[in-house]
C-alpha cells in the first residue's frame, strides 16, 4: 500500500508512457539572451546546425522506426527556417509552441508574455499552417500566469512544470497569482505533462564558451545512462517519461546513434506506451481527473 497515488491508466494496458520530444530552438534562445551573438559566425553556425543537419537526421531516425514525436518550435525559428518546420509537419509530427524568440516567461511582464504567445501562434500559422495545442515554456521557466494565458488561447496542454511523475489537470488560476489586473475568467484547466532537468540533452552537451554550458560535454553513452535510469524508474512507477532533445545537440552524428539505440530500447518495451505529447494529453483529458491547484509560496 503506497503513499503515492495509483498510476494513471495508460492505453492498451501499458504500464507507463514515454515521449521523445525536441525543442527546435536554433539561434532563438541565444539571441533573446544576448543579441550581440548575431555577429559571431561560429556561434550562429553552432546553432543553425539544428535545423540544417540535426533535424533531417532525427526526422530520418523517427521515420525509420515509425515513431511520431513532438517538436516545440519558437515562432522566430519557424520564420527563419520555414522549410525545416514544414518538413516536421510533412513527416506527421506534432508542432508545439515554444515562444516567439524563446523568451523566458518568468522574466516578462504579463503583456510581454501574452505578446510572445500571440506572435508565436501567428508565425506557426503563417509558416506551417498549424495551430499548436501544446506549449513548453522557453528555458523551462513558466510563470504563474502561463497556464491562464494558455487556457485563454485554447491550448490543451502545457509541458513546463516539474512537480509530478505523471500528467495531471492543472487548474487555471483565477483571481490569484497573477499581476496584470485583468478580471478573472471562468475557472478551467489544462493538462500538465511534467518534465525534468535530468531528462534534457542541454546539460549533457550544450557548450559555447562564455555563453552556455558548464564546460561539460558528455559521451553519448553517459547521457543515455542518465536518461535510461530515469526511464527505468518511471517505468516501475507507472509514470510518464518525457525526454527533451535539441537538434543542434542530439542531431550530431554520434549522439544521434546513441539516441537511436535508446529509442529502439523503448520501442522494444511492450509495457510502455510511446506517443507524442498531444496524444498523451488527449488521453489524460479523457480521464476527467480533478484539477490540481498550485499555490505560489509566500515568504
CB 270 to a second copy: min, Å:
20
Question: Of the listed pieces 114-122, 183-191, 247-255, 277-285, which binds a second copy according to CB under 8 A?
Answer: 247-255
Rg for the chain (alpha carbons), in Å?
19
E strand or H helix that includes residue 234: helix 220-237
Instruction: For residue 110, state whether it binds a second copy (rule: CB under 8 A).
Output: no
Return d(Cα 216, Cα 224) in angstroms, integer. 15
Return d(Cα 269, Cα 234) in angstroms, integer. 13
Instruction: For residue 180, state whether it binds a second copy (rule: CB under 8 A).
Output: no
270 secondary structure, DSSP code: T
Instruction: For residue 82, state whether it binds a second copy (rule: CB under 8 A).
Output: no
User: Between 131 and 217, whose beta carbon lies closer to a second copy?
Assistant: 217
User: Between 131 and 264, whose beta carbon lies closer to a second copy?
Assistant: 264
User: Between 39 and 286, whose beta carbon lies closer to a second copy?
Assistant: 39
Identify residues 132-171 at the interface with a second copy (CB under 8 A). 137, 139-144, 146-147, 160-165
Three-state secondary structure call for residue 249? helix
Instruction: For residue 254, state whether it binds a second copy (rule: CB under 8 A).
Output: yes
Give burial (CB, 10 Å; 0-12/13-18/19+) of 201: buried
Dump the DSSP string for 51-73: IIIIHHHHHHHHHHTT---EEEE
| Interface size with a second copy, residues (CB under 8 A) | 86
Instruction: For residue 198, state whether it binds a second copy (rule: CB under 8 A).
Output: yes
Question: CB neighbours of 48 closer than 8 A, spacing ≥ 6?
Answer: 26, 27, 248
User: Between 184 and 254, whose beta carbon lies closer to a second copy?
Assistant: 254
b/e burial code for range 42-69 (CB count within 10 A of at least 16 → b): ebbebbbbbbbbbbebbbebbeeeebbb
Identify residues 205-224 at the interface with a second copy (CB under 8 A). 205, 207-209, 213-222
Instruction: For residue 108, state whether it binds a second copy (rule: CB under 8 A).
Output: no
Of 15, 230, 285, 293, the one binding a second copy (CB under 8 A) is 230
Return d(Cα 205, Cα 200) in angstroms, integer. 9
Question: CB neighbours of 45 closer than 8 A, spacing ≥ 6?
Answer: none
Instruction: For residue 40, state whether it binds a second copy (rule: CB under 8 A).
Output: yes
User: Between 87 and 122, whose beta carbon lies closer to a second copy?
Assistant: 87
Instruction: For residue 225, state whether it binds a second copy (rule: CB under 8 A).
Output: yes
CB 45 to a second copy: min, Å:
4
Return d(Cα 8, Cα 28) in angstroms, integer. 36
CB 144 to a second copy: min, Å:
5
Report residue 289 as a C-alpha cell: 481527473
Question: Of the listed pieces 124-132, 236-244, 265-273, 275-283, which binds a second copy according to CB under 8 A?
Answer: 236-244
CB 222 to a second copy: min, Å:
7
CB 223 to a second copy: min, Å:
9
Identify residues 17-36 at the interface with a second copy (CB under 8 A). 27, 31-32, 35
Amino acid at each position: 500500500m503506497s503513499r503515492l497515488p495509483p498510476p494513471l491508466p495508460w492505453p492498451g494496458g501499458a504500464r507507463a508512457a514515454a515521449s521523445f520530444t525536441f525543442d527546435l530552438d536554433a539561434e532563438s534562445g541565444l539571441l533573446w539572451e544576448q543579441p550581440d551573438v548575431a555577429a559571431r559566425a561560429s556561434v550562429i553556425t553552432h546553432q543553425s546546425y539544428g535545423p540544417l543537419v540535426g533535424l533531417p537526421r532525427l526526422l530520418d531516425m523517427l521515420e525509420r522506426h515509425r515513431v511520431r514525436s513532438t517538436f516545440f518550435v519558437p515562432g522566430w525559428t519557424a520564420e527563419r527556417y520555414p522549410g525545416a518546420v514544414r518538413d516536421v509537419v510533412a513527416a506527421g509530427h506534432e508542432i508545439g509552441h515554444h515562444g516567439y524568440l524563446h523568451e523566458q516567461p518568468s522574466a516578462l511582464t504579463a503583456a510581454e508574455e501574452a505578446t510572445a504567445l500571440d506572435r508565436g501562434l501567428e508565425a506557426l500559422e503563417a509558416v506551417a499552417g498549424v495551430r499548436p495545442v501544446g506549449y513548453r515554456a522557453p528555458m523551462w521557466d513558466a510563470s504563474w500566469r502561463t497556464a491562464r494565458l494558455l487556457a485563454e488561447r485554447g491550448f490543451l496542454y502545457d509541458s513546463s512544470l516539474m512537480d509530478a511523475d505523471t500528467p495531471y489537470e492543472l487548474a487555471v488560476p483565477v483571481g490569484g497569482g497573477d499581476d496584470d489586473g485583468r478580471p478573472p475568467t471562468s475557472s478551467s484547466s489544462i493538462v500538465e505533462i511534467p518534465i525534468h532537468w535530468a531528462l534534457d540533452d542541454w546539460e549533457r552537451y550544450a557548450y559555447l564558451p562564455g555563453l552556455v554550458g558548464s564546460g561539460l560535454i558528455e559521451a553519448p553513452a553517459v547521457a543515455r545512462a542518465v536518461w535510461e535510469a530515469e526511464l527505468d524508474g518511471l517505468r516501475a512507477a507507472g509514470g510518464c517519461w518525457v525526454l527533451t532533445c535539441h537538434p543542434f545537440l542530439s542531431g550530431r552524428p554520434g549522439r544521434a546513434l546513441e539516441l537511436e539505440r535508446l529509442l529502439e530500447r523503448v520501442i522494444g518495451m511492450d509495457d510502455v506506451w510511446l506517443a507524442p505529447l498531444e496524444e498523451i494529453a488527449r488521453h489524460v483529458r479523457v480521464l476527467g481527473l480533478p484539477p490540481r491547484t498550485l499555490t505560489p509560496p509566500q515568504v
